Amino acid sequence: MMLKPLKSMGKAEEAVIIGGGLLGLNMAEVFSEKGLKAHILQRGSRLSPQMFDFEVSNFIKSKLEEKNVEVNFNEELIEIKGKNGAVSEVETSKGRRISCQLLIVAIGVTPAIKFLKETEVKTDKGVLTNEYMETSVQSVYAAGDVAQVYNSIKNQYLTYTSWASALEQGEIAGFNIVNQNKKSYLGVPLNTEFIFGIPVTSIGSPNPPDESKYKFLIKNELDKGLYLKLVLDNKKIIGGLLVGKTEKADLIKELIKQQVNITGYEEDLLEEKFEEILKEKEGRN
């Protein structure tokens, strides 16, 4: 998908990227490193909204702008214009015209499920599976971007589009195909991205849709390049977001998977004593 634009990059001076998700940010970094001026058009009001909150989005935006990447929120592509069979500029929903010699469209993942329409395999946004990665047809399994997996904690079917989630689902599906004692996928995705060398990790559900229903523990030290956010629901962690120091992300994931009651541990969580909390809870059990 990226081979053609990369081959012609030497002739380009400016690039427009449609979408401010992780793929769009990765492409912006590539263009910046090659000396191009990059313009991101993001439909919403923050970057990578499934992963970043507004604080982290604004922090990453400032780092992008330091690297000659222009970030435009609430702005969409309206028209592509070209000369001699090549793109020359785009027009946006705000009436602006942006000169460019490269155009990248990075607006998410859509599972290819049309071929299943006339089959017994049930679909929604993706292929519906139970927590064992098995579809509505016995002994037929799905994993990765195409799978919409039943999450018993949230009592709904969810898609997980990170590479780490795809690997975990594939391993579980493979195990369950050949074993009678089945493993379940608990649906706690963990994804780490490096943006201009800055590690950002999301775990579980870092940005739930209705924030008023949840409690947040936040240690904001973005002036030092550090950020810790934990999302709590009914005295349990359901999500986390880390910037700068991400090596303890697996411990947060374990707290989520074990559904640990963190009552009385708020200060310890902000001090990142995740391992100590897990050991203490295991000792009590």
pTM (2 d.p.): 0.86
pLDDT for 153: 74
Residues 94 and 104: their CA atoms lie apart, in Å, by 19
For the stretch 265-278, pLDDT in tens is 999 999 999 999 99
What does DSSP say about strands 86-92 and 147-151: parallel, antiparallel, or unpaired?
unpaired
Residues 48 and 162: their CA atoms lie apart, in Å, by 13
pLDDT for 7: 56
- Domain spanning 190-284 has what CATH number? 3.30.390.30
Q: Does 260 have pLDDT greater than 70?
A: yes
- Percentage, residues of the chain above pLDDT 70: 95
For the stretch 205-250, pLDDT in tens is 999 888 899 999 999 999 999 999 999 998 999 999 999 999 999 9
Average pLDDT in the chain = 92
Q: What is the DSSP string of 27-62?
A: HHHHHHHTT-EEEEEESSSSSSTTT--HHHHHHHHH
pLDDT for 9: 64
Fold topology of 11-105: FAD/NAD(P)-binding domain (3.50.50)
Within this chain, domains 11-105 and 114-178 share the same CATH topology: yes
Residues 13 and 88: their CA atoms lie apart, in Å, by 11
For the stretch 139-187, pLDDT in tens is 999 999 999 999 877 788 999 888 889 999 999 999 999 999 999 998 8
Q: What is the DSSP string of 158-200?
A: EE--SHHHHHHHHHHHHHHHH-SS--------EEEEEETTEEE
- Listed by start position, the domains of the chain span 11-105, 114-178, 190-284
CB 182 within 8 A of CB 141: no
Architecture of domain 114-178: 3-Layer(bba) Sandwich (3.50)
- The residue length of the chain stands at 285
CB 239 within 8 A of CB 204: yes
Q: What is the DSSP string of 4-33?
A: HHHHTGGG-SEEEEE--SHHHHHHHHHHHH
Angle in degrees, CA 116, 122, 123, rounded to 5? 75
